Amino acid sequence: MGNVAYNKTILLYLMGFWGTLLLSDCSSNPKTTASLHTLYDGPVLDIDSVQTWYSDSAELKIHLTAPKQLELLNGNREFPKGVLVEFFKNGDSTKPSILKSNYAVMLKDKQVYKVTGNVLVENPTEQKKLTTESLFWSPVTKKISTTEQVIITTPKEVIKGIGMEASQDFSSYTIKQVTGILQVGE
């Protein structure tokens, strides 16, 4: 009986020795080690037809829709097919202000969205529209901003400029450098 236990112990030691030898042989080959430790750099989650609703005190504030959302390993969210964000004011869901673009990425570490490509911000209540190629939206500060060229259209004028800051619902804005104003006839 003691001989069987002794044989099992020897067998376990031999298996451990050969296993250690095999594993150490793999790790000594730099090509094998590099391929084993290559990190996956793609999305960790791929979602189609995204709809996200944000509310505060049971009152709808924001509705975000996108055809595709990618969750990245670093926590960023990418919207490769664009995004539509509706901003509701005082619970009024009939005429929300909108932010629309061909591409967007939410930068987790900065808590901002960078939207690019045919960017449109519109406030239908005040009949104001902004077009640009790129801007940042901060849900934390409830502001949008850009350093790019902007065109703002109202019922009375078309304003061109470089750089702008505005409230996210586009009810108020400041253009950094106005480059032209065109009065629109009534």
**CA 71, CA 154: separation in Å to the nearest integer?**
37
State pLDDT tens for residues 38-72: 676 778 888 899 999 988 888 888 999 999 999 99
Q: Where are the domains of the chain?
A: 2-36, 43-183
Which single residue is written with the structure tokens 């050969």?
A: 18
Matching residue, tokens 């009024």: 92
pLDDT of 106-142, one tens digit each? Answer: 999 999 999 999 999 999 999 999 999 999 999 999 9
- Local structure of 76: helix, strand or coil: coil
pLDDT score for 24: 56
Largest separation between any pair of C-alpha atoms in the chain: 107
Superfamily (CATH) of domain 43-183: Lipopolysaccharide (LPS) transport protein A like domain (2.60.450.10)
- As a whole number, the mean pLDDT across the chain is 85
What angle (nearest 5°) sits at the alpha carbon of residue 120, between those of residues 115 and 123?
125
Q: Kindly tell me if the per-residue pLDDT of 16 is higher than 70.
A: no
